[in-house]
A and B are shown apart, each in its own frame.
Chain A
Amino acid sequence: MNQNKSYFFQSWLIVVIAIASFIGFKTFLPRKLFPDTTANSKNVVVDSLMLEAVAEGGNLSDEDTLTNKTISFVSNPLGIKFSSEKFEQYKGYQYLIPFFEKLYQLETSKKGKARIAYFGDSMTDGDMIVQDVRTQFQSVFGGEGVGFVNITSESAGSRGSILHEFSSNWKAQSYLKTKSPLRSFGVNGSVFFAKDTVNATWVKYKAGRNRFATTLNNPTLFYGSSKNRKASLRQIFGKDTVYKKLNPISMLNTTQVADNVKNVKVNFINADSIPFYGFNFDNGKGIHVDNFSSRGNSGLPLGSLNVDLMNAFQQKLGYDLIILQFGTNVLNYGSLNYSWYERKMTSVVKHIKECFPGAAILIITTADKSTKYDMEMKSDSAVSPLVLAQKRYAVKAEAGLVNLYTLMGGDGSMVKWVENVPARANKDYTHFNHRGAKEIAQLIYKQIDTGYQEYKKLRALAKKKAKPKAVVNDSVPVVNDTVNE
């Protein structure tokens, strides 16, 4: 009887002492069993340029001259000017005018074509987000095809918009890891070589099931110059084997391998020393969006694109808009000072403008990302300083801006996206899943479209004014007066 009582109290006492000792342990044992380490080995994809930039440090913080400032724009030659914006809400539609004008021509005359290069990191891997942006654009402005696709890709398996396979004997160099490539990187930031003389070197594409991408439209190979004159492509159509000679004479060459097909397999024969870049799939009209995602990319490697080669790409493909969606990979490095990133990216954007003359630039900021603080998942403290830095270089480099962080809900939003039923983001609290990616694409498209609709109004207004030049009308502000000095 007594025994029984004592056992109950013993057990209670154990709980009490355990709690007391736990509080003790908590104070002098480490708070975290597994420290948050950043894995680093030669096989982990990280951006070497960024690591260097981080190592260099760079706490030279610029004077904060932008916050609270109003940004006004200079009207374009047509006299179109978007109204001034507070830095806080900066969108920079003014800088997207060349692209908007292209859209306008497409929409009204149903002629011509427009093209977007969408650079990104693992967020857009497997054509996530980009495929939905592409479908949105193509459903309004026409166009078919998935655009430019690499020769090989580490994320080919996760891509559904085109099924992509390749032999394992390609030599690939990417601007993420290679400082001095054998030949300049292509527009996709990669260059590929077929070196194997024993085994077949091949690449295979099959159309996926996405809207406007159910066939492979005019698959065309892009490759650089070489002294090799023996190279050819071998394809098998039914019982026929077809050879196509490659002609690597110019800086950038193209060879179309088929018309509209469901799938295509190309063998590369005697193709050593030729730099290959990838295949383009488009139907030659409407709008096309190329996805240039590379896992681990911080955006800095874009600075190493070769201007001459890019100009050649620009001639052939004609980009009207360059989208840069980066940030995730610069969040994990401890420092909250992103002035180094701001500075480097400002010059990257300038470089991009040289590479693709005439194209508008759109910066998409990092999305929200969560980290555990005191047992609770919250927005990482680095997110908002990074967004600020991205906004600043967008303004400085005269680029448009989509603030993805605020668009998706701002502070604490990633936690909501992950916990949403059904989930919209993955448990790493960084990447969106397919459902979330679709929504993100809609948000991005909606903002671009808002700018475009506004542009159309401004354009109509400017046209009206441009005609009766002599008449001075007090009620309409004269274009010249509003030019910012």
Chain B
Amino acid sequence: MLQEWFYKNIGKVTPEVVEKWFVYNEKEPLLFNTGLFLGLFLVFYFWYILLRKANTLRMIYVIIFSLFFYYKSSGIYFLLLLGSAVVDYNLGNLVHRTSSVLNKKLCLTFSIILNLGFLGYFKYSNFLIDTWNQISQGNLKGFDVILPVGISFYTFQSISYIIEVYRKEIEPTKRFVDYLFFVSFFPQLVAGPIVRAKDFLPQIYQKLNVTQDDINRAFLLIIGGLIKKTVISDYISLNFVDRVFDLPNSYTPFENLMASYGYTIQIYCDFSGYSDMAIGVALLLGFKLPTNFRSPYKSTSITDFWRRWHISLSTWLKDFLYISVGGNRYGTFAGFLFPGLFFVGLIIWGISFSATSTIPLLIAVASTVIFAFTFLFSKEKEKTMYTNVNLMTTMLLGGLWHGASLRFIIWGALHGMALAVHKIFLEYYPPAKRKIFFITPFLKFFAIVVTFHFVAFCWIFFRAKDFTTALQIIQNIGKVTFDFNQWLTITQGYQNVFVLMFLGYFWHYIPEKVTVAIQNVFKAMPLITRAIVLGLVFWLVFATASAGPQPFIYFQF
């Protein structure tokens, strides 16, 4: 009877199935939105609670689970995580202990080179080789490497630790176990948020504690994250966005436009949804991770956007890259190198196309001139130049951090340019000047719309598999004409997708008061009701995931 029930609802448990639960499978990483994670977490969490007072034992227990979690998605590379933790921990101690400034610097440099070296080898070596081959017509062979999951995230965490130790913002951890716990902590291990040592380490030494409010917040984050990631993002990407981005020219201009809006909400839901789940899971364990997204598409400017989008990354970049290359105070060789390379490369690219079309050269020259104007027209030319050049460096490298491809560099460059342009705009039209009481709301609305569309435009480069595809999409969007019947038919054809997209945007744009009110309703529910709501969300995830891809639709008008 019980066996039958178990078989029907959970599936047959054979030795092979159990083996599959615990053995690395490249295709099935242990994501938070999988049934397997839920099952494992249930067991893990139970023992975690029992061990909550045995500090060291509990930490070791979490480390083992974290390493297993990492092994499930990256296989043998969990050793890399372990190995680099050993080195970084010892270097951190060295940096702290040695009194010679030179030695401190050496240790710091060595650690950063080592961390970035691993990241570079796994993530960028083949990109560099390809680029080299293209430029020199060479035929160097690429490395046969797979990218260990989350290496971009934990590398940055390790770097934050050693720099903070160097800057004396924190003390190094007392024991290796503490450090390993920080680096390998599974909730944020594979997809962030990038937790800063100074935010996290103090929590290790505090008594483990959760409040009623923490628990409620955790479940709300998990519920929201699950819906955003699994229901909205995964569904619209599989059934609409991916198809259009695969072959944009096979679709009508309106579909191209909607795919671009679709990707804009998809990437937000995917990324912030997963972050929210990570923060929620960590909170269930009694750890508070920083907020990673604050309704970024409500931004009124591009500067505002970067204070709301992937906050843990942008603050990391600001503190460790922007400041390191000079910030808004001075210029450095490194600060000028990348923007210099970028603009020179851009112009060379423009010239190389000048035989067939003058447009690339025009774009190249125009963007260089605009960038120069952003500081030439400033009252403090030199200071603004340093600021803008350093900002550009940050955005270019920040773009590259997202993936080894030219299109991420372009995406970063667009954002860097926009930030510089916004700075000079602010100088001429400071907010105080723009305060006219009844127009202000309209201006704000206008600013949100413009910022949103700029960001959506940049996402096209981020998503399209190459530059040509991106241009095709932009070209197709340029052909959009208002045709109510056509739009209606397409909307009916992609009914589910468009409903979910609408839901995603609606959720994003409703005033915070409403969200808080809804959350309060949840918090006021009795325990059993909250649990059932969570169960209902699990079902929602399950029912969305089990729907097959929608059949292909071709429209003809």
Q: Which A residues form the contact surface with B (CB < 8 A)?
A: 4-5, 7-27, 29-39, 41-45, 122, 125-126, 154-155, 157-158, 295-296, 332, 371-375, 377, 419, 426-431, 433
B429 on interface, CB distance cutoff 8 Å: no
- Chain B residue nearest to A177 (CB atoms) is B556
Q: Mark B26-51, 1 if CB is under 8 A from A, else 0.
A: 01000000000010011001100100
Does B238 sit at the interface, judged by CB under 8 A? yes
Among A27, A374, A428, residue most surrounded by chain B Cβ atoms (within 10 Å):
A428
Interchain CA distance A56-B46 in the complex, whole Å: 60
Query: Which of chain B's residues 43-67 have a Cβ closer than 8 Å to chain A?
Result: 45-46, 49, 52
Cβ B530 vs Cβ A14 within 8 A: yes
Q: A18-B532, A44-B555, A332-B551 are in contact. Are A155 and B250 (CB under 8 A)?
A: yes
The answer, yes or no, to whether B151 is at the interface (CB within 8 Å) is no
Interface residue? B169 (CB, 8 A): no
Across the interface, do A22 and B538 meet the contact criterion of CB distance under 8 Å?
Answer: yes
With A17-B531, A426-B243 known as contacts, the answer to whether A372 contacts B538 (CB < 8 A) is no
* Contact status A39-B554, CB under 8 Å: no
Smallest CB-CB separation from B218: which chain A residue? A11
Inter-chain contact A11/B554, CB cutoff 8 Å: no
B1 CB–A CB distance under 8 Å = no
Cβ of B352 within 8 Å of any chain A Cβ, yes or no, is no
Residue in chain B with minimal CB distance to A35: B547
CB distance from A297 to the nearest CB of B (A): 11
Shortest beta-carbon contacts, A-B, top 10: A21-B535, A372-B548, A17-B531, A18-B534, A158-B249, A22-B538, A25-B539, A33-B543, A157-B249, A427-B242
Please give the residue numbers on chain B whose beta carbons come within 8 Å of chain A beta carbons, in ascending order. Answer: 9-10, 27, 38, 41-42, 45-46, 49, 52, 208-212, 214-215, 218-219, 231, 235, 237-238, 242-243, 246-247, 249-250, 284, 286, 476, 486, 489, 492-493, 496, 527-528, 530-532, 534-536, 538-540, 542-557
Check A126–B49 contact: CB distance below 8 A: no
Q: How far is the CB of B533 from chain A (nearest CB, A)?
A: 8
Q: Provide the bound-state CA to CA distance between A364 and B316, in Å.
A: 56
Contact A32-B247, Cβ < 8 Å, known A7-B211, A44-B553, A44-B554: no
Whether the Cβ atoms of B547 and A16 lie closer than 8 Å is no
Contact B542 A26 (CB under 8 A): yes
Pull 14 A–B residue pairs with CB atoms less than 8 Å apart, ordered by A. Answer: A12-B42, A14-B527, A14-B534, A21-B536, A22-B542, A34-B496, A39-B493, A39-B553, A44-B555, A45-B555, A157-B250, A372-B548, A377-B548, A427-B237
Judge whether A31 and B546 touch: CB under 8 Å: yes
Roughly how many angstroms separate A38 CA and B38 CA in the complex, as a whole number?
A: 34
Q: Which chain B residues lie closer than 8 Å to A26 at the CB level? A: 9, 539, 542
Q: Which of A8, A27, A154 has most B Cβ within 10 Å? A: A8
A33 to B539 alpha-carbon distance, docked (Å): 9
Given contacts A22-B539, A25-B539, A155-B250, contact A36 B551 (CB under 8 A): yes
Q: A13-B527, A29-B539 are in contact. Are A122 and B210 (CB under 8 A)?
A: no
Q: Which residues of A contact B49 (CB under 8 A)?
A: 5, 8-9, 12
Chain B neighbourhood of A429, CB < 8 A: 549
**Chain A residues with CB below 8 A from B539, complex form:** 22, 25-26, 29
Main SS of the interface on chain B?
helix
Selected from B42, B496, B555, the residue in CB contact (under 8 A) with A16 is: B42
Which chain B residues border A419 with CB–CB below 8 Å?
27
Chain B residues within 8 Å of A44, by CB:
489, 493, 553-556
The answer to whether B535 and A24 have CB atoms under 8 Å apart is yes
Residues of A within 8 A of B530 (CB): 14
Q: Is the CB of A41 within 8 A of B548?
A: no
Q: How far is the CB of B122 from chain A (nearest CB, A)?
A: 15
CB-nearest residue of chain A to B552: A428
The answer to whether A33 touches B555 (Cβ under 8 A) is no
Q: What is the distance, in angstroms, from B178's C-beta to the closest C-beta of chain A?
A: 22
Tell me the minimal C-beta distance from A377 to chain B in angstroms. Answer: 8
A426/B246 in contact, CB under 8 A: yes
Task: Give every chain A residue within 8 A of B9 (Cβ-Cβ).
Answer: 23, 26-27
Given A11-B218, A43-B489, A427-B242: A32 and B535 within 8 A (CB)?
A: no
Does B557 contact A43, Cβ atoms closer than 8 Å? yes
**B544: A residues at CB distance < 8 A:** 33-34
Residues of B within 8 A of A126 (CB): 247, 249-250
A427 contacts B243, C-beta separation under 8 Å: yes
Closest to A9 in B: B49
Which A residues are CB-close (under 8 A) to B554? Answer: 44-45, 122, 154, 295-296
Complex: A322 Cα to B340 Cα, angstroms: 58
A157-B478 Cα distance, complex, nearest whole Å: 14
CB distance from A373 to the nearest CB of B (A): 8
| Residue of B with least CB distance to A42 | B489
Given A22-B538, A154-B554, A154-B556, is A32 in contact with B527 using a C-beta cutoff of 8 Å?
Answer: no
Q: Which residue among A10, A42, A427 has the maximum number of chain B CB atoms within 10 Å of its CB?
A: A427
- Chain B residues, Cβ within 8 Å of A16: 42, 531
In addition to A4-B208, A157-B249, A431-B552, 13 A-B residue pairs with Cβ atoms within 8 Å of each other are A8-B49, A10-B215, A17-B531, A42-B489, A43-B555, A43-B556, A45-B556, A155-B250, A157-B476, A426-B243, A427-B242, A427-B243, A427-B549
Residue numbers in B under 8 Å from A433 (CB-CB): 246-247
Q: Judge whether B540 and A33 touch: CB under 8 Å.
A: yes
Given contacts A15-B45, A44-B554, contact A32 B546 (CB under 8 A): yes
